[in-house]
Each structure stands twice: as C-alpha cells, then as structure tokens.
Amino acid sequence: MKIGILGGGQLGRMLIQNALKYDDEWFTIDPAEDAPCSGISNFTQGNFNNYENVFDFGKGKDVLSIEIEHVNVDALFELQESGIKVIPNPEIIETIQQKILQKKFYEKHQIPSPDFQIIQNKSECSFPLPFVQKMNTGGYDGKGVQIINNEQDLENLWNVPSVLESLVDIDKELSIIVAKNENGETKTFPVTEMVADPKLNLLDFNICPAHISEDVQDQINKIADQFIKAADSPGLFAIELFLDKAGKVWVNETAPRLHNSGHQTQDGNANSQFEQFYRVLKNLPLADTEATGFSGMLNLVGEENFRGKVKYEGLEEVLKLPKTYVHLYGKTETKPGRKMGHINVLADSREALLEKLIHIKSLVKVVS
Amino acid sequence: MKIGILGGGQLGRMLIQNALKYDDEWFTIDPAEDAPCSGISNFTQGNFNNYENVFDFGKGKDVLSIEIEHVNVDALFELQESGIKVIPNPEIIETIQQKILQKKFYEKHQIPSPDFQIIQNKSECSFPLPFVQKMNTGGYDGKGVQIINNEQDLENLWNVPSVLESLVDIDKELSIIVAKNENGETKTFPVTEMVADPKLNLLDFNICPAHISEDVQDQINKIADQFIKAADSPGLFAIELFLDKAGKVWVNETAPRLHNSGHQTQDGNANSQFEQFYRVLKNLPLADTEATGFSGMLNLVGEENFRGKVKYEGLEEVLKLPKTYVHLYGKTETKPGRKMGHINVLADSREALLEKLIHIKSLVKVVS
C-alpha cells in the first residue's frame, strides 16, 4: 500500500521504522532536505503548509496522514473529495489546528476544559487574572502559549486571535492516547504522567502508568470516550490533561497524531503507539496496549549554548544500563531546546524508575 | 558512522530497522534490485561474491560486515589491510564458508562435533553408513546437505569436495547466539530450540528458552566459550547444535552472522540479536539479553505451488491475537520455500506457546 505522511520528522521516522516489519511503500514530505524520514522513505522536499505541495504529494496515495498538525487542510479536503483516504479526517485536523475551534469543540461536546474567553485582539480581553493566553494558530512545543499573572503582564498580551483560559491548579499533567480504526474499534494506552521542565517548556520525563486514583482513571476514560465519539474520525489522538488539586481532570489540548507522551510504549508496552497508528492507517485489528511494567521516557534535548554538529556525551554509560533504550532521531545538527532523541527505561517500581531517569539525566548531555 | 553490509536481505533489513534508533549511515550491496534493504539504505546493486564489487563497495566505509557468509573474502582481506574495520574477521568468515575448514576448526579447537571424513571426490568415500554429506561450498538453507542411509543412496553421492559426517541420534536441535565486541566483552542469548520442518529443511518453529537440563546448558556454555575464544574475532555468531539422546551436545555448524534462530529476540528479550550486532559493529557495551518469558517464532515460507506476487492469507486473524508480532521482509514475490517473513509469539508457559504457534500456523498461508 502507498502511504503518504505530511511531515518527515522523528514521529514519521519512528512510524516507518516500526512499519518496516510490514510490506508498504512510504512517502513523506518535509521542507528540510535532511529530515529524519528522508533516507528511509520516498521523500519529497516540500512545504506541507502549501496547497499545491500537499495536493501534488497526496495524489496517487492509498492513504494520507500527518505527523504534524500544521498542514494545509484545504488540500486534504480536496484529496479526500477525489477519493483518497485521509486519516484523521481533515475536519478534526482543522479543529485542532485552531485553538479557538478546538476550545469550542470541547464546549460543544461537554468535554471538561478550563473556562475561557475568545479574543480577536488585545482590546477584547476581559478575562479575570491570572490566565493563560494561547494563540489561535502557530503554537507548537510550548510556543504561542504564555501565562498572564498580573496587570503588568497584561502589557505583554499578544495582539492576535487567542484563547484566554483560566489557570488550573495543577497536581499532575497527564496524557492518554486513544486510537480508532475505520471499523470503529477503539483502544487506549495506559495513562501517562508528564513531568515537565518549566524552562524549556518541553516534556522532560514521562512515567507510565500514572499514579492516579480509580476516580481519576474513570474521569479520563470518560473524556477519551467523549473525545473519540465527538471527533468522529479514525486516527490516533493524544489528549493532554490536567489533574487539579481537587481531583478533577481537565483537557488541556489534543494532538491528532503520534505524541511525545507515548514514546515509552516502544519498549514498555505489548505494542507501541507507532504500531497502533500503523494499524489505524490500514484499518487492521487494533493492537494490545498492555504495559509490561513501569516505563519511563526522558527527552534528549539540545543543551543551551550549543549549536552545530551534535555530540551525545555519556551515551556509552547509558548503554551499559539494563532495560534502557536509546532512540536518536537521525538529526545531525543540535540547537538549544531541539528534540534530538529520547531514552526509554523500564523498572519494577515507580521509585526505581524515577531513580533511573534522574540518574540517566545526570549522565547524558546533548552538545556540539 | 558509515556502516556497509554485504547482502541486502531480511537480516540486513531488520538490522537497519532496529538501528534507525541511532544515527548512522547504512550501505548495502545485493544482486537483487528490489532487495529488502534497497529502499532503506544507500543501496548498490552488485555481486557480493565478486572481488571488484566488494572492494569498490567497501572503500570509504568505517565498518564493513555481512548478513550472508557467501561473500568474496579476498576483497575483505584487502580492505582490512587498507585500514577498514571488517567484522567479523575475514579469517573466520573464510573458515565458516568452507565446510571442510569449518570442520577442521572444530577438531583443532576440541569443540565437540560429529566424526567425519573429508573427501575431494566420490571415489575417496570410506565412511561408515549411514552418514550426512555436506558440500564444502555452496550450501545454504539446507541446500548442499544430504543423508546417505544405505548402499543404494551411495550412488547419489555428490562428486564434489565434501565433509561426510556421522549421523547424530537427535533428541533436539538447539542454537546459541554469542556476541563479542572489540573490547573483548562477550554475551550470549538464552538457548533456543529449533523444531524443523523435514520437508522444506527450513526452520519452522523456534522456542525459547529451550527445555534443557543444567548439564546440557553447561555443555553449551562451554562450547560457546570455546568457539568465541577460537574464533578470535569480534562478531555475532549463531552456533547450531544437536543434543543427542544420550544427553551429549554436538556442534552442527556455525553462522558468522545474524540468524533465523534468533528472530524471537525482537519481541521476547530485553534486547534483540539485531541490537546486539549493532553494538558489536560500533564496539559499544553489549546489551542485556534476558528473556522476558517464553517466546517463539514461526517462519512464513512460500507455500508449494505458488509463485508470483505474494498474498498473506489469514494475517488479519493473526493480528487480533495478543502478544503476537508479524514481521514481513518487504519481498514482493513468493516462491515455494522462500522465507517471506516470520511471526513472533510470547506466552506464559511452554505449553501455551506451542499451542499458540500451532494455531497460528493453521491460520496463515503464504500464497500468490
């Protein structure tokens, strides 16, 4: 089958890596000539935000999908119209692309998410302080999001269409990955806990399964169920959640694609998010997602003050550790905050896992 | 690092597939234009038995290795001489390529292997019946091997340089995979039991860990140790063994490369033979090989009477089964007996594993 993916980054690379155990032809498009997918697929250098580029790329594929949500959806609608299978539906990609539509989607389908105000420009702001401002478009990896704490911060409010959202008193950041195939079969992965690095605003650790109560698990199951019904589309979705200190779960945002919060499934679950997404693309029976124990993930992110040809210090020490799995993304150049790879870790207890993650973080540095 | 592999088949494909989690440049050479490695590496269409082809391919690589042992070793010696790292050493490849040299190697190093006579032609045969004839060169996947049971069979004796070997009264066929890196670190995988299909003379099931006594395990450990010392080379080696009905272990033959008997390590062990071989090639710390439970493998082999574009009947049923992992090799054409893929299975007991393997074998057919 000819499978086309918009985006040629690490998510696409790991998708194709896993799917090399099946017989398909993979096609990717990315603006970067040396994108992580370039050497392992039929690669087109092009702009996935450009109508013509996406339309030309999509023609003749059996299935078309994404590994990044900021793509030209008009072309996807057109390709779908012409009979090409697009997963997930362009409608849900469009909804998620725009923070305002995404927020209205949660409201419409009674999916719990924080109170909000929609503004087209700065002058419309009348939301009680403190709050979060999320730009309608252009946000990615924590960019396009800021916290407005007080009157003084209000001066920095971006003068663009945005969602203003009340701050959640966060106990934990959680994520659930849910998949649905065209036959309507759905399956979730165990809930993952994300321990963030406030400085880079990128995920830092994942811990799976999350340490949560039965009640919290029930709330999350209900949200996943509501979301997948409302999205009305085959696909694999990562729902990012806040658990507040009163024990209530809120949706922060959703990604209509493979997600950093699912990377530890490569080594810690009966099947990974990459296998599951492959099965969605081909409408195959969904895979079992059972965790084999405690698993965790640590992002390898370019250190501050280093730019250029990447070097991974301490990696050999890490490779000596049992049940520790290094995943690099085939990127030759590092820069501060760039996601260069991750390390998955397995352990027999949550405590042992955390200890191992912290130890590994102290060993390895992404420099140049 | 620029890593070149002679051979572009499934072993190379699975090696590269696993190694996509690291940052290296992969190069392969194979006579078949559509070889399994062709789309996922820098591919050269060429003959790995030809001196010029191998020499030209090897130039400029950091490490050169093999995924098939029938390669031109003269070129490998030359490349090694010129400073290119060749793993394993050309000496041990040459020894293993030729059944006569291989047999003498076991004798010299007191590695237990069945009694034998070496013949250059038919007329020299004076070995007591019954026996096995193994052609000195050209054997592969059970080809070039025949059993001579009686006087009448003697007429069919191949008139080529051969090893004649006494028949072992086989209780089980076993295999151990052992790896050694340049630092001298060595590690073995758990012993695997191979249940053969006598008709196609290809492996049929693997079962791991093998059901063997402590004494048999000790004999095997000793053999692996003797072999790796005698081979005096970094590399990953699969030692195929016979356990006879009196409880003694004999070496049948050794492969100086990745091996079918290790395929279940992809899903059943902390790390796979592919990861281990990668670490050997880069002289990294060797990976832990611990089995997570009972694992098995079933070869997907082209059915008799089917040639042409491959179809896998029953594969969707198989994908519904938990802890069952399908691995296809990216080959578009099937023919009788061609290895097209394999299926790995995990279970909580040996009995459950066998039941699952037999069930899967009844579900899936490789046709055209």
Asked whether the predicted pLDDT for residue B129 surpasses 70, the reply is: yes
Asked whether the predicted pLDDT for residue B23 surpasses 80, the reply is: yes
Q: Report the number of distinct structural domains present in chain A.
A: 3
Which residues make beta-bridge pairs with A203? A196
Report the distance separating Cα A12 and Cα B235, nearest Å: 32
A323 and chain B in contact, CB less than 8 A: yes
Report residue B175: phi and psi, to 5°.
-150, 140
B291 and chain A in contact, CB less than 8 A: no
pLDDT, residue B140, reads 65
Report the distance separating Cα A319 and Cα A123, nearest Å: 54
Asked if the Cβ–Cβ distance from B320 to A285 is below 8 Å, we say yes
| Residue found by looking up tokens 């165990």 in the block | A190
Q: How confident is the model at residue B138 (pLDDT cuts 50, 70, 90)?
A: confident
Residue of A nearest to B292 (CA): A292
Contacts of B22 in chain A (CB under 8 A): 326, 328
Q: How near does any CA of chain B get to the CA of A314, in Å?
A: 12
Q: Is B69 annotated as a binding residue?
A: no
List the single residue in A17, A292, A320 with the smallest CB-CB distance to B20. A17
Residues B158 and B262 in one domain: no
Identify the DSSP state of A143. B
Residue pair B310/B302 in contact (Cβ under 8 Å)? The answer is: yes
Among A66, A86, A106, identify where a domain stops. Answer: A86
Q: How near does any CA of chain B get to the CA of A281, in Å?
A: 14
Residues B68 and B175 in one domain: no
Strand, coil or helix: what is B258? coil
- Tokens representing B332? 């578009």
Beta-carbon contacts of residue A157 (< 8 Å; ≥ 6 apart): A122, A125, A133, A148
Closest CA to A233 of A88, A106, A348, A356: A88
Residues A162 and A174 in one domain: no
Residues A176 and A262 in one domain: yes
pLDDT, residue A204, reads 81
Position A103 in a domain: no
pLDDT, residue B143, reads 80
Position B100 in a domain: no
Asked if the Cβ–Cβ distance from A21 to B326 is below 8 Å, we say yes
Strands A311-313 and A365-367, bridge-based pairing: antiparallel
Asked if the Cβ–Cβ distance from B20 to A21 is below 8 Å, we say no
Position B103 in a domain: no
Residues B150 and B237 in one domain: no
Q: Which CATH number characterizes residue B75's domain? A: 3.40.50.20
Position B94 in a domain: no
User: What CA–CA distances, in Å, run from A16 to A275, A290, B178?
Assistant: 10, 22, 29
Angle at which helix A99-108 crosses helix A90-97, to 10 degrees, equals: 110
Tens of pLDDT along B78-126?
999 999 999 999 999 999 999 999 999 999 999 999 999 999 999 999 9
Position A110 in a domain: no
Which residues make beta-bridge pairs with A102? none
pLDDT, residue A142, reads 66
* Whole-complex ipTM: 0.93
Position A94 in a domain: no
Q: Which amino acid is at B227?
A: F
Mean pLDDT of chain B: 95
List the single residue in B13, B319, B323 with the smallest CB-CB distance to A20. B13
The H or E element spanning position B74 is: helix B73-81
A187 and chain B in contact, CB less than 8 A: no
Tens of pLDDT along A186-202?
999 999 999 876 655 55
Tens of pLDDT along A323-342?
999 999 999 999 998 999 99
Q: Average pLDDT of B284-306?
A: 95
User: What CA–CA distances, in Å, run from B243 to B129, B171, B179, B207, B365?
Assistant: 21, 6, 22, 15, 31
B356 and chain A in contact, CB less than 8 A: no
Residues A157 and A179 in one domain: no
Q: How near does any CA of chain B get to the CA of A110, in Å?
A: 33
Residues B162 and B174 in one domain: no
Residues A269 and A341 in one domain: yes
Among B166, B192, B207, identify where a domain stops. Answer: B166
Report the distance separating Cα B200 and Cα B38, nearest Å: 27
Q: Average pLDDT of B256-282?
A: 98
Q: Which CATH number characterizes residue B138's domain? A: 3.30.1490.20
Q: How confident is the model at residue A143 (pLDDT cuts 50, 70, 90)?
A: confident
Asked whether the predicted pLDDT for residue B299 surpasses 60, the reply is: yes
Residues B209 and B120 in one domain: no
B323 and chain A in contact, CB less than 8 A: yes
Closest CA to A275 of B299, B358, B290, B266: B266
Asked if the Cβ–Cβ distance from A320 to B285 is below 8 Å, we say yes
Mutation for testing the A interface, residue in B10, B11, B15, B23 having most A CBs under 10 Å: B23
Contacts of B316 in chain A (CB under 8 A): 284-285
Residue pair A27/A61 in contact (Cβ under 8 Å)? The answer is: yes
pLDDT, residue A195, reads 87
Tens of pLDDT along A223-280?
999 999 999 999 999 999 999 999 999 999 999 999 999 999 999 999 999 999 999 9
Strands A2-6 and A63-66, bridge-based pairing: parallel
Asked if the Cβ–Cβ distance from B323 to A288 is below 8 Å, we say yes
Residues A196 and A124 in one domain: no
Strands B365-367 and B311-313, bridge-based pairing: antiparallel
Report the distance separating Cα B157 and Cα B123, nearest Å: 10
Q: Average pLDDT of A129-133?
A: 96
Position B104 in a domain: no
Question: What strands, in cross-sheet order, belong to the sheet with B85-86?
Answer: B42-45, B25-30, B2-6, B63-66, B85-86
Residue A87 burial by CB count (10 A; 0-12/13-18/19+): exposed, middle or buried?
Answer: buried
- Tokens representing B68? 């098939």
Q: Which amino acid is at A192?
A: T
pLDDT, residue B62, reads 98
Asked whether the predicted pLDDT for residue B52 surpasses 60, the reply is: yes
Q: How many CB atoms lie within 10 A of CB A155?
A: 8
Report residue A318: phi and psi, to 5°.
-65, -40
- Tokens representing B233? 């080379």
Domain range enclosing B253: 170-367
Residue pair B7/B21 in contact (Cβ under 8 Å)? The answer is: no
Q: Where are the alpha helices (DSSP H) in A181-272?
A: 214-231, 265-268
B285 and chain A in contact, CB less than 8 A: yes
Contacts of B39 in chain A (CB under 8 A): 40-42
Asked whether the predicted pLDDT for residue B147 surpasses 70, the reply is: yes
Report the distance separating Cα B110 and Cα A339, nearest Å: 53
Residue pair A158/A143 in contact (Cβ under 8 Å)? The answer is: no
Asked whether the predicted pLDDT for residue A137 surpasses 70, the reply is: yes
Contacts of A320 in chain B (CB under 8 A): 285
User: What CA–CA distances, in Å, run from A14 to A64, A237, A261, A314?
Assistant: 17, 16, 14, 23
B40 and chain A in contact, CB less than 8 A: yes
3-state secondary structure B147-203: EECCCCHHHHCCCCCEEEEECCCEEEEEEEEEEECCCCCEEECCCEEEEEECCCCEE
Asked whether the predicted pLDDT for residue B256 surpasses 90, the reply is: yes
Among B150, B166, B182, identify where a domain stops. Answer: B166
Q: Which CATH number characterizes residue A259's domain? A: 3.30.470.20
Residue pair A357/A299 in contact (Cβ under 8 Å)? The answer is: no
pLDDT, residue B142, reads 66
How many helices (H) and strands (E) in chain A? 10, 22
A2 and chain B in contact, CB less than 8 A: no
Residue of B nearest to A322 (CA): B288
pLDDT, residue B141, reads 63
The H or E element spanning position B256 is: none
A356 and chain B in contact, CB less than 8 A: no
B18: number of CA atoms within 13 Å, CB side? 22
Contacts of B288 in chain A (CB under 8 A): 322-323
Mutation for testing the A interface, residue in B269, B280, B309, B319 having most A CBs under 10 Å: B319
pLDDT, residue A236, reads 98
Mutation for testing the A interface, residue in B21, B28, B339 having most A CBs under 10 Å: B21
Residues A330 and A182 in one domain: yes
Strand, coil or helix: what is B49? coil
A183 and chain B in contact, CB less than 8 A: no
Tens of pLDDT along B309-341?
999 999 999 999 999 999 999 999 999 989 999
Report the distance separating Cα B236 and Cα B18, nearest Å: 16
A284 and chain B in contact, CB less than 8 A: yes
Residues B55 and B158 in one domain: no
Contacts of A329 in chain B (CB under 8 A): 23
Position A93 in a domain: no
